[in-house]
């Protein structure tokens, strides 16, 4: 299951990380559209083609943590005990919001990162893409949890509305941050309001 840690795999990991680091730094410094892949390659001391060998798209150079989120969510749902799957997901989000898990990037440091994303149309679009993927995955996890088919509309609806609420809540947290208000309070307030709606939506389904 895990890789046989030879020299080759070690170097690969290092190269990948080096490219991603250089790219992220350049993007944050000068904006995503103002840095070409050729430049990233040059700065990382590697051929342009090598960059594309490691990363399918230029956008992948900066987005590298989707898997982490997916894992957190999956674990929370699988190990949910007697809670409903939707409740387990909501509990996870409350925890992450309060503990300030880096995924949520709500502290001052990662704001710079998100500014880079928001200021780039391509990165904004890609972030939305990841969002949709998360909603789809969440839908399947919810359906799995109650042994329903992956395409179950109730699961898809619940997942879509959950993610919607979180995205709006996160947007409002960023606004609060900009306006020198408490981003965490803003986040929780909007998130909880959204959860009320989701809970009403899933009433009468096994997801409640």
Binding site for DNA (CB under 7 A): 4, 6-9, 11-12, 15, 35-38, 45-50, 52-54, 56-59
Q: Give whichever of 71 and 125 is closer to a second copy, judged by the CB atom.
A: 125
The interface partner of residue 53, options being DNA, a second copy, none and the CB cut-off 5 to 8 Å by kind, is DNA
DSSP state of 46: S
Burial tier of 131 (Cβ tally within 10 Å: 0-12, 13-18, 19+): middle
Q: Give whichever of 27 and 194 is closer to a second copy, judged by the CB atom.
A: 194
Q: Is residue 127 near a second copy by the rule CB under 8 A?
A: no
> What CA–CA distance (Å, rounded) separates 30 from 83?
46
Q: Give whichever of 52 and 114 is closer to DNA, judged by the CB atom.
A: 52
Q: Is residue 161 near a second copy by the rule CB under 8 A?
A: yes
Using CB under 8 A as the criterion, what x/- string covers residues 133-152 for binding a second copy?
A: ------------------x-
Q: Is residue 175 near a second copy by the rule CB under 8 A?
A: yes
Tell me which stretch binds a second copy (CB under 8 A): 1-9, 12-20, 104-112, 168-176: 168-176
Cβ pair 44, 14 in contact under 8 A: no
User: In sequence order, which residues have a C-beta less than 8 Å from that of residue 23 and are 6 or more positions away?
Assistant: 35, 40, 44, 61, 62
Taking the CA atoms of residue 173, residue 63, residue 127 and residue 189 in that order, the dihedral angle to the nearest 10 degrees is: -20
Q: Is residue 117 near a second copy by the rule CB under 8 A?
A: no
Nearest one of 190, 126, 129 to 162, comparing CA atoms: 190
User: In sequence order, which residues have a C-beta less than 8 Å from that of residue 14 and are 6 or more positions away?
Assistant: none
Q: Is residue 58 near a second copy by the rule CB under 8 A?
A: no
| Interface residue list for a second copy (CB under 8 A) | 125, 128-129, 132, 151, 153-154, 156-157, 160-161, 163-165, 167-169, 171-172, 175, 186, 189-190, 193-194, 196-203
């Amino acid at each position: 299951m895990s890789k046989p840690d030879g020299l080759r795999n070690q170097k690969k990991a290092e190269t990948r990380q080096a490219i991603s680091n250089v790219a992220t730094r350049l993007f944050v410094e000068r904006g995503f559209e103002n840095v070409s892949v050729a430049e990233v390659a040059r700065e990382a001391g590697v051929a342009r083609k090598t960059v594309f060998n490691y990363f399918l798209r230029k956008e992948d150079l900066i987005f590298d943590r989707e898997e982490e989120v997916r894992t957190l969510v999956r674990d929370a749902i699988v190990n949910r005990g007697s809670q409903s799957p939707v409740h387990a997901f909501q509990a996870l989000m409350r925890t992450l919001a309060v503990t300030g898990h880096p995924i949520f990037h709500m502290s001052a440091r990662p704001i710079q990162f998100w500014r880079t994303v928001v200021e780039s149309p391509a990165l904004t679009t890609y972030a939305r893409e990841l969002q949709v993927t998360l909603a789809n995955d969440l839908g399947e996890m919810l359906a799995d949890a109650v042994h329903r088919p992956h395409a179950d509309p109730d699961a898809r609806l619940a997942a879509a509305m959950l993610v919607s609420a979180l995205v709006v809540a996160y947007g409002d947290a960023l606004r609060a941050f900009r306006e020198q208000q408490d981003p965490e309070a803003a986040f929780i307030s909007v998130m909880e309001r959204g959860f009320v709606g989701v809970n009403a939506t899933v009433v009468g389904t096994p997801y409640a």
